[in-house]
């Protein structure tokens, strides 16, 4: 098995674990959405994307965002709509 296939298999396995966590957590939230912050915090998915030598080292949700998009593309999750007027 080549590296690309193995890596994508691991991404699929990680995504399935996150999906199972989301499904198990749904009943804890009345609105039907499991908040991304809850998922990232509970699963420790706030990771640094900067090199160690960089002055900026804030941990963000880049990894979870990638997994969420992967699950969305597989039609496993729906992300709540973003109301841009609320962001102003």
Per-residue pLDDT of the chain (88 residues; tens, 9 = 90+): 799 999 999 999 999 999 999 999 999 998 878 999 999 999 999 888 888 888 777 888 889 999 999 999 999 988 776 656 555 5
Which residue range is the domain that position 83 belongs to? 3-87
pLDDT at 39: 95
Burial class (CB in 10 A: 0-12, 13-18, 19+), 46: middle
pLDDT, tens digit (0-9, with 9 covering 90-100), for 47-67: 888 888 887 778 888 899 999
pLDDT at 88: 52
Contacts of residue 4, defined as CB under 8 A and 6 or more positions apart, other chains included, come to none
Report the alpha-carbon distance of residue 34 to residue 55 in Å, rounded. Answer: 33
Report the alpha-carbon distance of residue 43 to residue 7 in Å, rounded. Answer: 20
Domain tally for the chain?
A: 1
């Amino acid at each position: 098995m080549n590296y690309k296939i193995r890596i994508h298999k691991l991404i699929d396995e990680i995504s399935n674990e996150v999906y199972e966590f989301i499904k198990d957590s749904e009943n804890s939230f009345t609105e039907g959405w499991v908040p991304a912050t809850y998922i990232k915090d509970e699963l420790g998915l706030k990771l640094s994307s900067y090199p160690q030598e960089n002055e900026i080292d804030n941990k963000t949700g880049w990894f979870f965002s990638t997994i969420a998009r992967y699950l969305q593309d597989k039609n496993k999750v729906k992300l709540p709509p973003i109301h841009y007027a609320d962001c102003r």
